[in-house]
Structure formats: structure tokens, C-alpha cells
Amino acid sequence: MGADTDHARLAAARQALAAAESAASASGLPRRPGTGDTRARQESGRAGDAGPAGEPDPAAVARRIVLRQLAMGPRTRRQLEDKLRDRGCEADVARTVLDRMTEVGLVDDEAFAEMFVRSRQETKGLAAGALRHELRTKGVPDEVVDAALEEIDPEREKEQARALVARRLRTMRGLDRDTQTRRLAGFLARKGYGSAVSYQVVREALDELPEHGRD
């Protein structure tokens, strides 16, 4: 998830671009003069992007847009479809280009979902509920979301909740127990934790505080 992963992704992007361009030349993707908006035409103002009549090659423009997006970070197929549509690419051209990118392994919703789950767990402590919501908003199909979330260990998730509560409690000293409970439970809920796990973890954490110790 760090710099090494980013470099590897960029290297894969460059290799996939070369593979896609080579495959396009070999298979003769259809050229559609006059398609795309002004911004898409600007994307195509490079050698190799123009057709025989000097008009932009829609497939070459679409591939370049996709690779630029992927070089900035992982994207789902739906996100790339939306970007291509915003840039004026025709739906059939976008589908052909994204299919080819999928074949070379650069567009992969399953890999995206697995990476996303690991990353958000490690960096933000998100639980399954929040992860499911975020993946859906990025256009990951439900069956792919379900498969990625199956890998979550409930005990590890509970440990994440304990760590989050311990850090947040440092800012809540001096508050009464009811206020601490309410705020901590709300905090965990926003992270996607269910009420049963939240209240168990919060209760355990508060019971360990000297000011809430039982006589």
C-alpha cells in the first residue's frame, strides 16, 4: 500500500498501455471520426492518436484517459466508465477499451475491492458496514463486495474497535460515563461497527478506567 506498491502499479500501467496499443493495432479497433467533445480531442493531440484523416482515434483517446486515471490511483470499472462518459467517449468505444484493459489485468474490480478493504482497515479502522457502503458508491458489484468482506476476521475487527476507542478516550477524560458511552458508540457507528460490538467494546474500555471502577 506504500511507495513500492505505487511504483509497481505505475509500471503495470505503462506495460498495459503498450500492450493495449499493440493489441489495438493488431486487431484494428474501429475509428470513428468526429466523436468525442473538445476535451477528448485535446487528450488526443499526440502522435499515434490520429486516424488517417487526421481525426482523433476514439479508442486511443479512451486508452490514454484510462491510463492517466489509473496512474493516479486504482479505479473501478464503473469509475472509469463514468470518466470516459464525462470526456465524451462513446459507450461502445469505452466498453471495448475497458474490456481490453480487463484482459491485461489493469482493470480488476475484485483486486480493487480486496486492496480497498485492507487499506481502509489499516488506515481508517473501518468495519464491514462502512466498507460495504464505500465500495458500492465506487460501483463495485455486490457479489464482488460480498467476496471481499468475507475475508474480514470478526475478532480482528473487534480489536480494531478497541484500538479506536482507546485513542478516542484520551480526548474524553473528565466527561461522565453516559456522555463517553454515547460519543464513543456514535464514533464507532460512523466507522461501520454494529451496535453489539460497539457497546461491548465501549463498556469494556470504560470499566477499565479508574474513575469508572467498581467498588
| Sequence ranges of the domains in the chain | 3-103, 109-149, 154-212
Query: Per-residue pLDDT tens for 115-140?
Result: 999 999 999 999 999 999 999 999 99
42: enclosing H helix or E strand? helix 38-43
Task: Name the burial class of residue 106, with classes exposed (0-12), middle (13-18) and buried (19+) by CB atoms within 10 angstroms of its CB.
Answer: buried
Cell of 101: 484493459
Query: Per-residue pLDDT tens for 194-209?
Result: 999 999 999 999 999 8
Cα first-last separation, the chain: 47
* Nearest Cα residue to 213 out of 161, 185, 177: 177
Please give the average per-residue pLDDT across 112-117, as a whole number. 95
Torsion on CA atoms 50, 52, 54, 60, rounded to nearest 10:
-20
Q: What is the DSSP letter of 73?
A: S
Q: How confident is the model at residue 35 (pLDDT cuts 50, 70, 90)?
A: very low
Task: Name the burial class of residue 153, with classes exposed (0-12), middle (13-18) and buried (19+) by CB atoms within 10 angstroms of its CB.
Answer: exposed
φ/ψ (deg, to 5) at 172: -120, 10
Cell of 119: 487499506
φ/ψ (deg, to 5) at 202: -65, -45
Give percent above pLDDT 90 in the chain.
67
Taking every pair of Cα atoms in the chain, the longest distance, rounded to a whole number of angstroms, is 88
Q: What is the pLDDT of residue 21?
A: 55
Amino acid at 11: A
Three-state DSSP class for 155? helix
Q: What is the pLDDT of residue 27?
A: 41
Q: Which numeric CATH code is attached to 109-149? A: 1.10.10
Q: What is the pLDDT of residue 34?
A: 37
> Is residue 17's pLDDT more than 80?
no
Q: What is the pLDDT of residue 37?
A: 44
Helices (H), 51-191: 58-72, 77-86, 91-103, 109-124, 128-137, 142-149, 154-169, 177-190
Q: How confident is the model at residue 212 (pLDDT cuts 50, 70, 90)?
A: confident
Q: How confident is the model at residue 22 (pLDDT cuts 50, 70, 90)?
A: low
